[in-house]
Amino acid sequence: MNRVSEFLLHRRVQFYEVDSAGIVHFSWFFRYMEEAEHAMWRTAGLSIAMAGSDIGFPRIATSFDYHRPLRFEDEFDVRIQIATFKTKTIQYSCIVSKGAERIATGALTIACVRKGPQQTMSAIAIPDEIVSRFEVAAGASV
């Protein structure tokens, strides 16, 4: 199986994602980016949140720059790429586009944690069986 380094999600804007200015509310782009991330993990044969697992991947930093708006029923693409892959963290970069038009540019850093008793979380090294499925995308940057 080839290592996975990126994913291209094709998506349509839903009515409940659009605000009263008639454009997608800026908070939705973080959900679009996460949808693409989770689809990339599925392509790698993984789930980012396995039922019963004590390992999790909380988000530790994220950002978006908005270039143009998306509107109701627009079709668009979310390209997520692995920009860095470290022992305990992964950084993604993300481009949202509509046809040839650049809509928004995002970034997301996640950490690997083990959940302990009393809701504690400790940073741990990403398990080998996960590391082995991914690689950094050629040309990705954050």
Q: What residues make contact with a second copy under the rule CB under 8 A?
A: 14-16, 18-23, 25-28, 30-31, 34-35, 38, 42, 47-49, 51, 56, 58-66, 69, 71-73, 119, 121
Please, what is the Cα angle at 8 between 25 and 3, to 5 degrees?
135
| Sequence-separated (6 or more) residues with CB below 8 Å from residue 21 | none
Which residue, 22 or 99, is less far from a second copy as judged by CB? 22
Least gap, CB of 50 to a second copy (angstroms): 9
Q: Among residues 119 and 122, whose Cβ is nearest to a second copy? A: 119
Q: Which is nearer to a second copy, 65 or 101 (CB)?
A: 65
| 98 vs 78: CA distance, rounded Å | 9
Between CA 54 and CA 135 the distance in angstroms is 24
